[in-house]
A and B are shown apart, each in its own frame.
Chain A
Amino acid sequence: MMVKEEKGAGGGNDIQWCFSQVKGAIDDDVAEADIISTVEFNHSGELLATGDKGGRVVIFQQEQENKIQSHSRGEYNVYSTFQSHEPEFDYLKSLEIEEKINKIRWLPQKNAAQFLLSTNDKTIKLWKISERDKRPEGYNLKEEDGRYRDPTTVTTLRVPVFRPMDLMVEASPRRIFANAHTYHINSISINSDYETYLSADDLRINLWHLEITDRSFNIVDIKPANMEELTEVITAAEFHPNSCNTFVYSSSKGTIRLCDMRASALCDRHSKLFEEPEDPSNRSFFSEIISSISDVKFSHSGRYMMTRDYLSVKIWDLNMENRPVETYQVHEYLRSKLCSLYENDCIFDKFECCWNGSDSVVMTGSYNNFFRMFDRNTKRDITLEASRENNKPRTVLKPRKVCASGKRKKDEISVDSLDFNKKILHTAWHPKENIIAVATTNNLYIFQDKVN
């Protein structure tokens, strides 16, 4: 598929992306615990959650738009911070269970409170985030500081009233879903019925009811009876956005299986198998590794799904199993460097991908703090950089270009100069607007399209 890159072209109707905000420490010494491990907007886009390696969740809230100053949409400010998971010690194995948050998924809002699921390698938790902006005052039996009054001193009765107080946001764990995964959880996905969700580890997928924590149903199990025969693991899984009986899971061999839970209780037999035949001209020892799918995401419409492997993003039509309908090369210039990338383990990096609200543009990260957007309609793509050098608000981001070989033009960067320690693995797109959140190692960047 030919992809034409034009200087200055943005993704989608020539959007111009501007820097909006950056969150996180400025210094170059990255604390291990601050490494961002997941980013997710809620269903309205008003809230943006990040999880980090230290087990913390930070939620940002978009402030209400300032009608007078309509230069930009509301800024995101810290709304709530809490410790979701703690490091645990497995005494039997003498192992630490990492507290790193692998995924966060929001539930749709049903009442005043917000709910999200967060997971580490072994345990999923349902958190309730609620606001408190009033407190009762005027108790008969208690003083204002909480001490109890001597009942004999009470001579009159009064009715307690609610008085306003400074807004307090509380996060409390409502459910803990534990002890169901032997291997490391890589995905959680909430069903469109909003009552159940799935969790996937390397070899199994379990189905949970949000109200029930002491049991889960195993719906996929690819563990071979003889572990010698293990050649493939599950890498990601997601429920279909509209069909509550349908989900997909991807594998380390580059396949995606679509399963229908109505067909049988155990969905080891797929309904559809999506796989693109290997291109013989691109064959190498690393073919399997680079075909391993690191992320799978349904389009909002539910008609397509997108997969990310090491070098490309592919869009699949659910009605066509034998090949993707669109393929976008993220950083093809790395194909000749696979040996080096194998040496330093970068070839095993797991990049995520995401759709915009209208499913017209897709985005994914790369190295050197670059991220890429592909417009499915215009077939144009753009490379941008998340860097503190561009951090004046409303500065339009300059497109970046990597020079694969030959003479390097001005403003281009050569492949050998790329910093492979600066990787953008996690990105998220606001469900309704052109606002994106891009995570570098320990900073969160928010970009918006230019509003005139």
Chain B
Amino acid sequence: MLSKGLKRKREDELEKETLAVDAWWLGPRPPAVAQAPPAVASSSLFDLSVLKLHHSLRQSEPDLRHLVLVVNTLRRIQASMAPEAPLSPVPSPPPAPGAAADSLLASSDAALSASMASLLEDLSHIEGLSQAPQPLVDEGPPGRPTSGAPPSLGALDLLGPATGCLLDDELEGLFEDIDTSMYDSELWAPASEGVKPGPEAGPGKEETLELDEAELDYLLDVLVGTQALERPPGPGR
């Protein structure tokens, strides 16, 4: 947060946000490349999309629209590169062992899906935690039924004072099962994948050992960085 007196130059800001993806866009103008969209995506487009997804997920508060569009585009690219690889979040076993590239894509797709799934699931899980049980309002529209899915932000008092305490307790529980020794491992490198993910794409704690290091990395980022999507009750007027 800058003090009010400082004018932060926009160029500095853009530089700060540049990652290793530097090579893609340098200077004020994009590379003047006229490309006809290929029928099958090049691996560079795939890599670019993965980098964008990675970058987006690493934001403390991801731009949901950007994230969703990148993920959907990535799925399209994956589908064109490996038609037999599944599109759904549930990964299927990779095809014939001889097709190394296919299995790589299948496992990276599965790993990607599992990462995305685990991230979004955790965001959802944490949001659900931060909503204390809400009383139904008598007057006005009934809003959403409260059975099953976590209560939505309906015609209700949105954050009661009890929420903070509830959240703290639950956060402790989330951290309990994490084996922190895994976090010393390298960032996700698709080429080094050899581990097949478990049968489900969920973030179940009992599957931790079967998830690869990259997914745990994502999980940790979510848990440490995100923590809650609901703000504590502010001093609103």
Asked if A and B are interacting partners, one says yes
Q: Does A221 contact B (CB under 8 A)?
A: yes
Please name all residues of chain B whose beta carbon is closer than 8 Å to the beta carbon of A289 when the two chains form the complex: 69, 73
A176 lies within 8 A of B30 (CB): no
With A92-B228, A338-B37, A419-B28 as known contacts, state yes or no: A217 contacts B10, CB within 8 Å: no
Q: Which residues of chain A (284-300) have a CB below 8 Å from chain B? A: 284-286, 288-289, 292
Taken together as a complex, chains A and B put the C-alpha atoms of A345 and B70 apart, in Å, by 11
Q: Which of A177-185, A311-319, A320-328, A388-396 contacts B (4 or more CB under 8 A)?
A: A177-185
Determine whether the beta carbon of B10 is less than 8 Å from that of A179: no
For window 5-31 of A, CB contacts with B under 8 Å fall at: 29-31
Task: Pick from A83-91, A136-144, A154-162 the stretch touching chain B.
Answer: A83-91
Residue B148 interfacial (CB < 8 Å):
yes
B60/A176 in contact, CB under 8 A: no
B24-61 toward A: CB 8 Å interface, digit per residue (1/0)? 11001111111111000100010010001000000011
How many chain B residues touch the partner (CB < 8 A)?
76
Chain A residues in 8 Å Cβ range of B77: 285
Min CB distance, B101 to chain A, in Å?
19
Q: Would you give the 0/1 interface string for A170-211, flagging 1 where the beta carbon is closer than 8 Å to chain B?
A: 000101101111111000000000000000001110100000
Whether a CB of chain B sits under 8 angstroms from the CB of A358 is no
**CB of B133 within 8 A of chain A?**
no
Contact present for B37 and A92 (CB under 8 Å): no
* A202 and B72 contact, CB distance less than 8 A: no
Taken together as a complex, chains A and B put the C-alpha atoms of A266 and B80 apart, in Å, by 38
Q: Could you list 17 examples of A-B contacts with CB < 8 Å?
A: A35-B10, A90-B231, A92-B227, A215-B137, A215-B158, A217-B154, A217-B155, A218-B154, A218-B155, A225-B149, A228-B116, A230-B64, A339-B35, A344-B25, A344-B30, A345-B25, A348-B69
Pick out which of these stretches binds chain A: B1-9, B191-199, B207-215: B1-9
From known contacts A343-B24, A343-B25, infer whether A213 and B236 are also in contact, taking CB-CB under 8 Å.
yes
Q: Which of A94, A180, A266, A420 is close to B153, meaning CB atoms less than 8 Å apart?
A: A180
Contact B69 A218 (CB under 8 A): no
Closest Cβ of chain B to A264, distance in Å, is 8
A93–B65 touching, CB < 8 Å: no
User: Separation in Å of the B172 CB from the closest CB of chain A?
Assistant: 14
CA distance in complex: A61, B66 (Å):
37
Query: Residue B204 at the A interface, CB < 8 A?
Result: no
Q: Does B170 count as interface, using CB distance less than 8 angstroms?
A: no
- In the complex, the answer to whether B37 meets A31 with C-beta atoms within 8 Å is no
Q: Does A113 contact B (CB under 8 A)?
A: no
- Knowing A95-B61, A288-B69, A336-B36, say if A218 contacts B31 (CB, 8 Å): no
> Closest Cβ of chain B: how far from A124's Cβ, in Å?
11
**Cβ < 8 Å to A, chain B residues 125-178:** 127, 137, 140-144, 148-149, 152-159, 164, 167
Is there a chain B Cβ closer than 8 Å to A232's Cβ?
yes
A278 to chain B, nearest CB (A): 12
| A218-B152, A227-B120 known; A29-B9 Cβ under 8 A | yes
Q: Which residues of A contact B156 (CB under 8 A)?
A: 215
Considering residues B24, B37, B69, B142, which has the most beta carbons from chain A within 10 angstroms of its beta carbon?
A: B69
Any B CB within 8 A of the CB of A226: yes
Flag whether A78 is at the interface (Cβ < 8 A): no
Known A339-B35, A343-B25, A344-B25: A206·B153 in contact at CB below 8 Å: yes
Contact B229 A217 (CB under 8 A): no
Interface residue from A94, A217, A285, A415 paired with B141 (Cβ < 8 Å): A217
Contact mask A98-142 → B, CB, 8 Å, 1/0? 000000000000000000000000100000000000000000000
Whether the Cβ atoms of A218 and B33 lie closer than 8 Å is no
How many Å lie between the Cα of A218 and that of B131 in the bound state? 15
Q: Does B236 contact A346, Cβ atoms closer than 8 Å?
A: no
B117 within 8 A of A: yes
List, in ascending order, chain B residues with CB within 8 A of A228's CB. Answer: 89, 116-117, 120-121, 201
Shortest Cβ gap from A163 to chain B (Å): 33
Q: Is B95 an interface residue (CB 8 A)?
A: no
A230 touching B68 in the complex, CB below 8 Å, given contacts A215-B157, A221-B152, A343-B25: yes
Smallest CB-CB separation from A183: which chain B residue? B64
Whether A265 is near chain B, meaning CB under 8 Å from some CB there, is yes
Residue of A nearest to B17 (CB): A345
Q: When A and B form their complex, which 9 residue pairs have the shortest distance between CB atoms, in order from nearest?
A: A265-B141, A227-B120, A416-B32, A284-B37, A31-B7, A344-B25, A227-B124, A228-B117, A202-B64
